[in-house]
A and B are shown apart, each in its own frame.
Chain A
Amino acid sequence: MTERRQGSRRRGQGELEALVLSALGEADGPATAGWVQERLGGDLAYTTVITILTRLLAKGAVTRERSGRSFAWTPASDQAGLAAHRMRRVLDAESDRGAVLASFVTGLGPDDERLLRDLLGRAGHTGRTHSEGED
């Protein structure tokens, strides 16, 4: 059991969040943390599930309402929305990310925008005189 829990820790936070969110998505309505834990086959400790749900709540990926003595949780955004949120956090944290990830475009300098609009205007003009896709 301990070994399995270590295994799940090694899977990383993103994956655990995804697991919990997908389990929650399979519920018919609002589900409790206990239900999520059961759904995941007891792989995670109850407190871990609560921690992950709280983290998802902070990201706006789930909502919760009080039902009796505990909370009932509902997914607010899907996996893709959660992934987008996490990716933004990664990119915002890396000031020099251009050095690692080759972005499609880099930022524009002060004069670049005017220059670029000129070029695109010329390209648009060429496009009208010649047929599309021709060089």
Chain B
Amino acid sequence: MGVFAFLPLVLPLTAWPIARLAEQHLHPRTATRLLTAVAAVMAACSTLCLALVMVVGTAQLPGNPLPDGWSDPEVRAAVPYDEVVGKAAIPALCAVLAACARTLWRHTRVRRRAHRALAGLPATGVAVLPDETPYAYALPGGRRDRVVVTTGLLERLRPAERRALFAHERAHLTAGHHRFLLTVQLAARANPFLRPLRTAVAYTAERWADEEAARHVGSRRTVALAIGKAALVSRGIPAPTLAGFAAPGPVPRRVAALLGPEPAVRRWPSLFTAVGLAAWCAAAGTAVSAMSSANAAVTMVLILHAATPL
């Protein structure tokens, strides 16, 4: 078995090509769901394997609270037993858990604070704030779902573009995009190799809402104009992008996509085109890596379960 147990830690690398391809060639809705699922599975497997490497590597160290049976000779024969790696896995696992807890905590804190800031306003689905700074976002909160938008942004858009803006934000809330975003956020914390998936899902979720908005207002061009104008007037807001990064940022890509043809709602491209072949290969690679991750994790759980004296 040997190195097999460590594979789930590095296999997320194989998800990079599919993230690129799905982002460019799949319908944004399919891409968002697919990439989020892949990220969640791979993050869970990677964390599980990290925990098991730690358990097997450290269960027989003196003063360890874990059952000695978890590191029996049979277990060590089947999975890599390494004190150094086992010990190194302890801080790694702690870091993963702390980072995930921090992300969750911050997520709930921002949502709570934003809702509290809106206390006192009528409980409507849209909160218009008298503020010169142009911004708009969807604030999820179950029945208290709200679209927050400032007068500074609204007065720079034409009526049709405002409808596009509201349709976009409502699409975020209706489809529960914050859950996808939180999932990939946590996955990226669990395994840094999954970060490209987080970036990809952040983009495809916006594209998904853009397409919904375009369907709602009946014009892709109007949505494109609304996004373009909003981006140009919000320039002052610090960009979370890397300075000097050569590739075009998400906003121009979204506008360009909306000015292009509507994406097809097919599940998968045909196998007999170059794009289709590449997508299928990438998907197969991801599936295999996810399955081997899961396989390694399940095998180790079973071994440890069998070795645990009950």
Report A's interface with B, CB cutoff 8 A: 12-15, 17-19, 21-22, 79-84, 86-91, 93-94, 96-113, 115-117, 119-120, 122-123, 126-127, 132-135
Contacts and interface: CB of A to CB of B under 8 A. Distances in A.
Nearest to B256: A119
B120 A21 contact: yes
B58 interface: no
Interface residues of B, number: 74
Given A102-B177, A104-B168, A108-B249, A84 B221 contact: no
Given A100-B110, A103-B135, A12 B116 contact: yes
A106 B250 contact: yes
Nearest to A91: B135
A104 B110 contact: no
Contact of B244 (A21, A110, A116, A119): A110
Nearest to B221: A123
A12 B113 CA distance: 10
A61 to B, nearest CB: 11
Interface of B: 103, 106-107, 110-111, 113-114, 116-121, 127-131, 133, 135-139, 148, 150, 153, 160, 165, 168-169, 172, 177-178, 181, 185, 202, 205-206, 209, 218-222, 224-225, 227-232, 234-235, 237-246, 248-252, 255-256, 259, 262
B243 A15 contact: no
Nearest to B153: A104
Contacts of A100: 106-107, 110-111, 178, 181
Nearest to B182: A100
A110 B129 CA distance: 29
Tell me the interface secondary structure of chain B in the complex.
helix
Nearest to B240: A98
Contacts, number: 189
Contacts of A119: 224, 228, 252, 255-256, 259
A106 B148 contact: no
Contacts of A102: 137-138, 172, 177-178, 181, 205-206, 209
Contacts of A133: 160, 218-219, 221-222
Given A91-B135, A109-B239, A113-B235, A18 B249 contact: no
Query: 5 closest pairs, A vs B, by CB?
Result: A107-B239, A18-B120, A86-B117, A84-B129, A14-B116
B124 to A, nearest CB: 12
Given A100-B111, A101-B138, A119-B255, A109 B118 contact: no
Nearest to B173: A102
A123 B222 CA distance: 9
A84 B136 CA distance: 12
B255 A82 contact: no
Contact of A99 (B120, B181, B249, B262): B181
Nearest to A81: B130
